Structure 1
């Protein structure tokens, strides 16, 4: 007879696949949204160094932090009694914290507003995808 922990270990690779697909979708969505913002005049220039954030930079950073989210989901699946609920709480909290740096960057209003929105794009892809995957593996 298998215990609940045995089922969670077997379900892990499915969560990783869901996370991988969601990560790719988040990277594409964020990069497209950044390209759209650039097309309407947002320059993504950060005053400290005077450099612009390049479009590939959005994909790289989104991919990195999305993978961090997948790792958090896998850890919670393994060691939490309520992984989906805890994941949503952690992910929403981290998303809220991620909104602070754009506000402190000193960038112009258009760039700051766009960066705030671009933090929410991958969150709207990753959080529901991983939460759904966690729920389907623990029900």
Structure 2
């Protein structure tokens, strides 16, 4: 006996909309974190960690990677969570707070640490609401 998974067109459409929104938000968040890093650097804040400089584009690349992981989390929760929006918001807020821990302990100046944390918060402020709006309450 075999079983076939039946996915309704509404489910596929919702996932597609979620992914589309997520990709646009990821691009926006990546650009925003690069802008924050560039502005901080222009204001005299070092982008060096342990003596090695972080390129401004590195902020964008890492933001894109982790933002797309967030899209995957949202897609999985939309399929399996009883309350996807609430679960997503709680999960991503906790992950955002945890993402600040390495910034606190990294070998860098105080201003650099603050700038790194700001980029995490900027990305989260863009990604979390954009994806949460697409999830069922």
Per the alignment, residue 83 of structure 1 pairs with: 84
How many residues are matched? 132
Partner Cα distance (2:107, 2:58) in 1? 19
Map 1:1-139 onto structure 2 (within 5 A). 7-47=10-50, 50-134=51-135, 138=136
Counterpart Cα distance in 2 of 1:34 and 1:83: 32
Could you tell me which runs of 5 or more consecutive residues in structure 2 were left unpaired when the two chains were aligned.
Answer: 1-5
Listed one character per residue, the Cα deviations across residues 44-66 of structure 1 (whole Å, up to 9, x for unaligned) are: 1112xx21100010000000000
The structure 1 segments of at least 4 consecutive aligned residues displaced by more than 3 Å after TM superposition are 3-7
TM-score normalised by length of structure 1: 0.90
Which whole-Å CA distance do the structure 2 matches of 1:12 and 1:77 have between them? 8
| Distance in 2 separating the partners of 1:97 and 1:6 | 36
1:8–1:77: 8 Å Cα contact kept in structure 2? Answer: no
CA 1:9–1:81 in structure 2 vs 1: closer, same or farther (change >3 Å)? farther
User: RMSD between aligned alpha carbons?
Assistant: 1.7
Distance in 1, matches of 2:56 and 2:24, equals 20
**What is the CA distance between 1:13 and its match in structure 2?**
0.4
> Normalized against structure 2, the TM-score is what?
0.91
